[in-house]
């Protein structure tokens, strides 16, 4: 098998890879110097579209519409762009072995790739119910969503089971977005999760009560405090029923599972330092191995704002970390350093007519403000997180762009709050004054 050699290789062709490619071009990468090796069959795209507009019954998003970097208002990098820049997009190619000592990657087909500099951008994979040995979990139409192939399977199932019954397992943002989009596709939707409320890692009970109320109003049934413990299937091997641990049984034509992910770092185990489930990097996304960088979901990096180290699985960080790594890589070749990554956590989600943004850290005490009645014609509300008297996190549903910018500023500057009561009364005004 042939060996191909590049100055720079990015392993993984997702969001980070797309934003890294754009930064490589800005930094003046020469034709033939950079290769992106991806398991997927398409050029980098904005992954969040898959659980949103990609599944709409009408006017669905399709490639090439959402290639990176349109998600952040940037240029859409079509496959031709990569060709023009002399960037090698090596698609449908899974790397199965990485030897960082000899700077060699090996694909499933046995091809080898050598590099001078490597950027690891392999992202995450979804946890599967089969991994936990759940009875009957390998039945047809029990689906997951991580990449475009998964999304296409879901689109096919939605068509095949038109107006059917769907059970969504998991109460995170993927579960919430998928429940909404299945409802919009006219499915009878039930959501199941073990926690006392949805999105418990971020949402307070007050925030969650709004979304749960809104979903119920839209006709999504929510079943909390139990888990899917098994599945039965029909003669075609298609899922037919979901058995819950509390003894209930739900009919299902489709089951969609969103129970979390795991960063894909196995290829590099034992070769690079790890921390908090990811690959440990510095503030330029350099790993413990010379000439090797890690970005996006797989990187555990110093969070300057909070003085600790974290791994972040959000699209905004995948874009920014990729840009930071490429800038640092070019600077280091000129013996220079760039400013440390100074990230303000930012996460968003959209479903039905709703849209929220969160900035900062969700620690400490909380207040809720605004109209959080799920029956309101135009609900708009938010929350602040207060730690040691300072406002460190801010959430806003239904905010206008300048209001979202205002809450971002609050999370960044961490102003003092006079009292929780005053903050709750002032609400968005507090942010607008900062």
Q: How many residues bind ligand FAD (CB under 6 A)?
A: 37
192 binds ligand FAD (CB under 6 A): no
Nearest Cα neighbor of 287 from 230, 345, 328, 238 is 328
> Least distance (Å) from ligand FAD to the CB of residue 298?
6
Given a contact cutoff of 8 angstroms between Cβ atoms, the answer to whether 314 and 71 are in contact is no
Stretch near ligand FAD under the rule CB under 6 A, chosen from 35-43, 127-135, 195-203, 230-238: 35-43
Q: Is 39 in the site for ligand FAD (CB under 6 A)?
A: yes
Any idea how long the chain is?
Answer: 434
Minimum distance, C-beta of residue 12 to ligand FAD, in the bound complex (Å): 3
Q: By CB under 6 A, which span of 70-78, 119-127, 129-137, 270-278 interacts with ligand FAD?
A: 119-127
In whole angstroms, the minimum distance from the beta carbon of 350 to ligand FAD comes to 7
The contact mask relative to ligand FAD for 133-162 (x = CB under 6 A, - = no) is ------------xxx---------------
Nearest to 283 by CA among 309, 297, 301: 301
Sites for ligand FAD among residues 362-391 (CB under 6 A): none
Nearest approach in angstroms of CB 315 to ligand FAD is 4
Smaller CB separation from ligand FAD, 130 or 266: 266
Starting at the edge strand found earlier in the chain, the sheet holding 299-303 runs 274-275, 278-280, 299-303, 308-311
Using CB positions, name the residue nearest to ligand FAD.
14
264 near ligand FAD (CB under 6 A): yes
Give the number of other CB atoms < 10 A from CB of residue 83.
12
Residues 175 and 144: beta-carbon distance below 8 Å:
no
Residue 140 per-residue DSSP state: B
DSSP result, 378-431 = S-EEEEEEEETTEEEEEEEES--HHHHHHHHHHHHH--B-S-HHHHHHHTHHHH
CB of 191 to ligand FAD, least distance (A): 16
- Closest CB to ligand FAD among residues 189, 315: 315
Q: Which two tokens stand for residue 381?
A: 């509300």
Name residues contacting ligand FAD, limited to 220-259 (CB under 6 A). Answer: none
Select the residue interacting with ligand FAD from 122, 324, 351, 404 (CB under 6 A): 122
d(CA 115, CA 110) in angstroms, rounded, equals 16
| Residue 323 touching ligand FAD (CB under 6 A) | no
Question: What track of x and - describes contact with ligand FAD for positions 68 through 97 (by CB under 6 A)?
Answer: --------------------------xx--
Residues with Cβ within 8 Å of residue 383, at least 6 apart in sequence: 204, 206, 207, 366, 367, 368, 369, 393, 394, 395
User: Rounded to 10 degrees, what is the CA torsion of 184, 61, 74, 116?
Assistant: 120
* Closest CB 376 distance from ligand FAD, rounded Å: 24
Q: Which of 8, 13, 228, 366 binds ligand FAD (CB under 6 A)?
A: 13
Phi, psi of 84 (to 5 degrees): -55, -40
Contact call for residues 348 and 404 (beta carbons, < 8 A) = no
**CA-closest candidate to residue 190, choices 126, 248, 128, 247:** 248
Out of 40, 212, 241, 253, name the contact with ligand FAD by CB under 6 A: 40
Residues in contact with ligand FAD, shown as a per-residue x/- string from 296 to 315 under the rule CB under 6 A: xx---------------xxx
Do 403 and 417 form a contact (C-beta atoms < 8 A)?
A: no
* Residue among 66, 347, 381, 430 that touches ligand FAD (CB under 6 A): 347
67 binds ligand FAD (CB under 6 A): no
Question: 315 or 386: whose CB is closer to ligand FAD?
Answer: 315
17: left (phi over 0), alpha (psi -120 to 50) or beta: alpha
Residue among 259 and 386 whose Cβ is closer to ligand FAD? 259
Q: Does residue 349 belong to the site contacting ligand FAD (CB under 6 A)? A: yes
Residues that bind ligand FAD (CB under 6 A): 11-17, 37-40, 47-48, 50-51, 94-95, 121-124, 145-147, 174, 264, 267, 296-297, 313-316, 318, 347-349
């Amino acid at each position: 098998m042939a060996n191909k050699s590049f100055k720079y290789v990015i392993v993984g062709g997702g969001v980070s890879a797309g934003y890294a490619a754009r930064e490589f071009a800005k930094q003046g990468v020469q034709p033939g110097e950079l290769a992106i090796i991806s398991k997927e069959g398409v050029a980098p795209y904005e992954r969040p579209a898959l659980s949103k507009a990609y599944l709409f019954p009408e006017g669905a998003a399709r490639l090439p519409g959402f290639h990176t970097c349109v998600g952040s208002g940037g240029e859409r990098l079509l496959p031709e762009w990569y060709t023009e820049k002399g960037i090698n997009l090596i698609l449908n190619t899974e790397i199965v072995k990485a030897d960082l000592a000899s700077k060699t990657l090996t694909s499933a087909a046995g091809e080898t790739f050598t590099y001078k500099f490597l950027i690891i951008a392999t992202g995450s994979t979804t946890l599967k119910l089969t991994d936990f040995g759940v009875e009957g979990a390998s039945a047809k139409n029990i689906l997951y969503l991580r990449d475009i192939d998964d999304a296409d399977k879901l689109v096919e199932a939605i068509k095949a089971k038109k107006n059917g019954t769907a059970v969504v397992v998991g109460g995170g943002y993927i579960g919430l977005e998928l429940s909404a989009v299945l409802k919009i596709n006219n499915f009878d939707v039930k959501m199941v999760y073990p926690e006392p409320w949805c999105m418990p890692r971020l949402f307070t009970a007050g925030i969650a009560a709004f979304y749960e109320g809104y979903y119920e109003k839209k006709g999504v049934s929510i079943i909390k405090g139990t888990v899917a413990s098994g599945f039965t299937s029909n003669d075609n091997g298609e899922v037919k029923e979901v058995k819950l641990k509390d003894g209930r049984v739900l009919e299902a034509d489709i089951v969609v599972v969103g129970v979390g992910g795991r960063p894909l770092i196995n290829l590099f185990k034992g070769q690079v330092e790890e921390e908090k489930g990811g690959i440990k990097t510095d503030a330029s996304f350099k790993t413990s191995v010379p000439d090797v960088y890690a970005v996006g979901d797989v990187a555990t990096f110093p969070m300057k704002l909070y003085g600790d180290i974290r791994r972040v699985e959000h699209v905004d960080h995948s874009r920014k970390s990729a840009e930071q790594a490429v800038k640092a890589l070019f600077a280091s070749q000129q013996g220079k350093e760039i400013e440390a990554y100074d990230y303000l956590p930012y996460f968003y989600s959209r479903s039905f007519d709703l849209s929220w943004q969160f900035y900062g850290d969700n620690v400490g005490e909380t207040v809720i403000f605004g109209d959080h009645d799920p029956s309101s014609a135009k609900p708009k509300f938010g929350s602040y997180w207060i730690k040691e008297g300072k406002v460190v996190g801010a959430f806003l549903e239904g905010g206008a762009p300048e209001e979202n910018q205002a809450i971002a500023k609050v999370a960044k500057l961490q102003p003092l709050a006079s009292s929780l009561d005053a903050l709750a009364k002032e609400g968005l005004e507090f942010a607008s004054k900062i």
